[in-house]
Amino acid sequence: MIKPRTPAGVMELLPRDQIAFQRMLDIIRQTFERFGFLPVETPVMELSEVLLTKSGGETERQVYFVQSTGALEKGGEGLPELALRFDLTVPLARYVAEHEHELAFPFRRYQMQRVYRGERAQRGRFREFYQCDIDVIGKDSLSIRFDAELPAVIAAVFERLAIGEFTIQLNHRKLLRGYFEGLGITGEAQMLVLRELDKLDKRGSDAVRATLAGDGFGLSADVIDRLMAFSQVRSQGHADALAKLDALGPGSPLFEEGRAELRAILEQIRALGVAESRYALNLSIARGLDYYTGVVYETTLDDYPQIGSICSGGRYENLAGHYTKSKLPGVGISIGLTRLFFQLKEAGLVQTADSSVDVLMALLDDAGLEHALALSQRLRAAGLNVETQLEPRRLKKQLEYADKAGIRFVVLRGEDEAARGVVAVKDLRRGEQFEVAEAELAAALLVEREQLRSGVGSPR
């Protein structure tokens, strides 16, 4: 007999945790739509030649290929025809290029699907995980005003998720590259240095410093000191962010372009009503993917920095260049929800949810089945989620079942209640029981449910 077990690197939840996860997905989806983003889904499989475009950076070394048994029997040379997507951005580039003449630009899309990476198996790292992305794609050009709108979306998402205080940290690739130019770091060396600086939080300054001084870099101690000092710049509050940008001193035209764009983005973020405590400069952020060209974002929980970035992204100028001659610049962010959910559960910030079932319709004897079925249907028509017991069991067993399943209300109708035209309702959350006229049951339960959702009348 085969032992049942899930593969390493996947998250499989019990129903009440799945409900909590689904509610987070619902909040994210609702918030994306509130800002005018449209839903898109792409196939889990892409043609290998489309997916492996050398634009995904390190993730392209973690691709899963798809091979049918028939293709395996035939053999053949070269890569398999199909591969599983490793993110949602590269499929988006293909999608926009393929449907360019059918879309309205700027194209505002959200996408919430699973992606696959061959991560080394370890706790908290996943091979299959949900990404929740939004992107705005322009035709020929895209104003940096869209770059400022995305932090407002991020703030709205995490405020609604209510998982603690957070900070959206911003940097700008033009600012970084212009600063590197001033230090004599040019060409391919810029990307290599960017990648190293992006590892500061994970590896620490001593390890990054040693790498920059070693083989392949050979930077002088003075240049490394200046890089490290630049990367330590952080801000607290809006005025401080602008002051920190001013204090960087004059630089190359590219540097000045990046600084001007970052200033404009900060001013618009404030105009959008994002609290000053929610955003800050962090000049160590580079983002490891090659295609970012402008502003970059990373969001962290203030009280749980060990969780790392919970939302990241940035501006890219021509991601779809592999698939079309049209210039399609864009800006986007991504929430890795599976890893975030796992980390939040570990930190105790997400609790196991009550059942999505509002009511269990108990069945005390076979004679009451038809009435129980009819009453269940009336409650469903009123907007309640109802599970009906289809076989009579001892009342204690039915209550234990409801409690274990996380169902709050149990409706009972015995001979005495039937004679008086009422039903008994057990509220397992409060440990109370009350009676209500059967004709008023749906309205009473809807009120109770709304009070629960709003926190009104919840037990101390």
User: Tens-of-pLDDT digits for all 460 residues of the chain?
Assistant: 999 998 888 999 999 999 999 999 999 999 999 999 999 999 999 998 888 875 545 556 789 999 888 777 776 677 788 999 999 998 999 999 999 999 999 999 999 999 999 877 777 789 999 999 999 999 999 999 999 999 999 999 999 999 999 999 999 999 999 999 998 888 888 888 888 887 887 788 889 888 988 888 888 889 999 999 998 899 999 999 999 999 999 999 999 999 999 999 999 999 999 999 999 999 988 876 667 899 999 999 999 988 889 999 999 988 788 889 999 999 999 999 999 999 999 888 898 898 999 999 999 999 999 999 999 999 999 999 999 999 999 999 999 999 999 999 999 999 999 999 999 999 999 999 999 999 999 999 999 888 876 654 433 2
Q: Is 140 left (phi over 0), alpha (psi -120 to 50) or beta?
A: left
For the chain, the domains span 15-346, 359-450
* The two three-digit tokens of residue 197, written as one number: 């600086």
CA 294 to chain CA centroid, nearest Å: 22
Cβ proximity of 444 and 436 under 8 Å: yes
Torsion of CA 450, 456, 458, 460, to 10 degrees: 170
Separation CA 176–CA 286 (nearest Å) = 8
pTM to 2 decimals? 0.89
Beta-strand relationship, 65-66 and 82-84: antiparallel
Q: Does domain 15-346 have CATH number 3.30.930.10?
A: yes
For the structural domain made of 359-450, what CATH number should be given?
A: 3.40.50.800
